[in-house]
Amino acid sequence: MPPDHAAELVAERSFRLDGLSAVREVAAAATHRAGAGADRADVMMIIVNELATNAILYGGGAGRLRVWRTPEKVFCEVSDAGVGMPDPFSVGSEPATPDALSGRGLWLVRQLADGVEIHSGDAGTTVVAWLNLTDLALAPSRAQHAGHAASPG
């Protein structure tokens, strides 16, 4: 699912638990090659870590990473073949309580990314998150994108 007809695919990798460190490295390197500085590449690495971990834990034990770039943005897509989420719009929209053992991954992704889209249904979940590469002072606020989710299907 390319995010934009002009987007260039710069990395693609399937993963399981034993490949989690490699998928983080691929994401950071692809983000850097797309034109992001080291700090933004580290942010994408954290985003991909959280999404890939969720795919492993809740999406059937495996997933697929794709990274695209346009002149203005770098996109990561993590997909799995799990049973889907009941309400992708609300998942991660609020922080977990301090005593909760889980529930922070998608919230963290929504805080770090400049935009997030979640597509979820019976055939699995796909999360696309992006970072702006252009003048960050002109970028839309993360809060404007934090709740964006597509309908199941």
Q: Following DSSP, what letter does each residue of 110-138 receive, concatenated? A: HHHSSEEEEEEETTEEEEEEEEE-S-GGG
Tell me how far apart the alpha carbons of residues 108 and 42 are, in angstroms, rounded to a whole number: 14
Q: Mind listing the pLDDT tens digit of every residue in the chain (153 residues)?
A: 556 677 899 999 999 999 999 999 999 999 999 999 999 999 999 999 999 999 999 999 999 999 999 999 999 999 999 999 888 888 888 888 888 888 888 999 999 999 999 999 999 999 999 999 975 534 444 444 444 444 334
pLDDT number for residue 87: 84
* DSSP symbols for 26-73: HHHHHHHHTT--HHHHHHHHHHHHHHHHHHHHHTTSEEEEEEEE-SSE
Q: What pTM was estimated for this model as a whole?
A: 0.85
pLDDT in the model for residue 153? 40
Separation of alpha carbons 127 and 117, rounded Å = 6
pLDDT attached to residue 144: 42
Question: Judging by DSSP bridges, how do beta strands 73-79 and 62-69 pair with one another?
Answer: antiparallel
Specify the DSSP class assigned to residue 76. Answer: E
CA 51 to centroid of chain Cα atoms: 6
* The two structure tokens encoding residue 16: 């399981």
How confident is the model at residue 148, as a pLDDT? 44
Cα–Cα distance between 111 and 136 in angstroms, integer?
Answer: 15
Go through the domains of the chain in sequence order and give each one's CATH number.
8-145 (3.30.565.10)
pLDDT of residue 137: 38
